[in-house]
Structure 1
């Protein structure tokens, strides 16, 4: 089968052709001998290898849906701001699907780790620019999702030191700069 790109944008209900000339494919339907688009998208005509078969007409959606965070999803994000009460995260990936839209999340002090929640200092757990793995625990408020790094496998997965080198985790709460050997505090993700 050969796909002939026609790049014609169509809308639901738009007439595409006659049922005796084409086979209705994905995104189309037949009514009274006519074929119509059932979704917004681009019209495609696929020509079969066998000359006895009719070409297939289909409509594919213009763009796939963006990933949207939901409770229980694991996300990968970048710390964009920290204050004494929470770290603000730009959510970049949900599961394994990149986000096309901008979503923000917040990691509150009580959601950083499972034990000794009252002793958590956000600045000793995250710094702006850190890449983290976290879990969505609540849809939060109108501004951001609430995230948690309380599980061992969640936390900072990539950080750069003041010297600009990629830091190496040396414990669950410390990372070391390979250049200067300086140790900085982070809530490190345990490698899986």
Structure 2
């Protein structure tokens, strides 16, 4: 059971071989790449453990081959994401890249109001920081899984909106840490603007 708890925080970190005992059938539901025997779940191939909560009371435990694994967002990782929706309390995003590596699966993230910036957090207004469609650089502060959200922060100068389009459809230009301007109409819009470092420009 202790192993299972660590897998939820470190997916793909534990490499196992055929026949390894993974956990009791009371702790997990068997998924792919495993088999059930005498009340325990065993690996039926060599690879890495994947544990998902899929709305069931118990998590589903599977084993995937090494070639099927991919980079997962980890705490402290810089990720590139696209804003999908906002409300007064948080922005919802889809994580597209970890560093400069594109992700095969779609991972969801949340940037809470209090994690938008480092100062005057009580004055943050989500709609003045992000808009749906914005591309944002953020840092992972808490792990989720395929079914739940990662918690992200933009509370550093280098993090925030890197690409945004105006109502006229033009890509806006940053003019300060909190404003971007449309080059066509010269109208200004509020954003939490990132001071982009060169290594992230390719994303």
Bigger fraction of residues in helix: 2
The structure with more radius of gyration: 1
Indicate the residue corresponding to 1:65 in structure 2. 69
- Provide the residue aligned with 1:113 in structure 2: 117
Instruction: Please state if 1:175 is matched with 2:180.
Output: yes
Structure 1 gaps, min length 5 = 1-11, 13-37, 41-60
Per the alignment, residue 93 of structure 1 pairs with 97
Q: Which runs of 5+ in 2 are unaligned?
A: 1-17, 19-44, 48-64, 198-203
Paired residue secondary structure (1:134): strand
Structure 1 residue 123: Cα displacement: 0.3
Shift of 1:140: 5.0
Bigger proportion of residues as strand: 1
Q: Work out whether residues 66 and 98 of structure 1, in 8 Å CA contact, stay in contact via their aligned partners in 2.
A: no
Question: What secondary structure does 1:118 align onto?
Answer: helix
How many residues get paired? 137
Match of 2:80 in 1: 76
Q: Deviations over 1:134-161 (max 9, x none)?
A: 0001115862000000000000000000
Deviation (angstroms), 1:167: 0.2
4+ long deviations beyond 6 Å: none
Q: 1:131 aligns with which of 130, 135, 153?
A: 135
- 1:104 is matched with 108
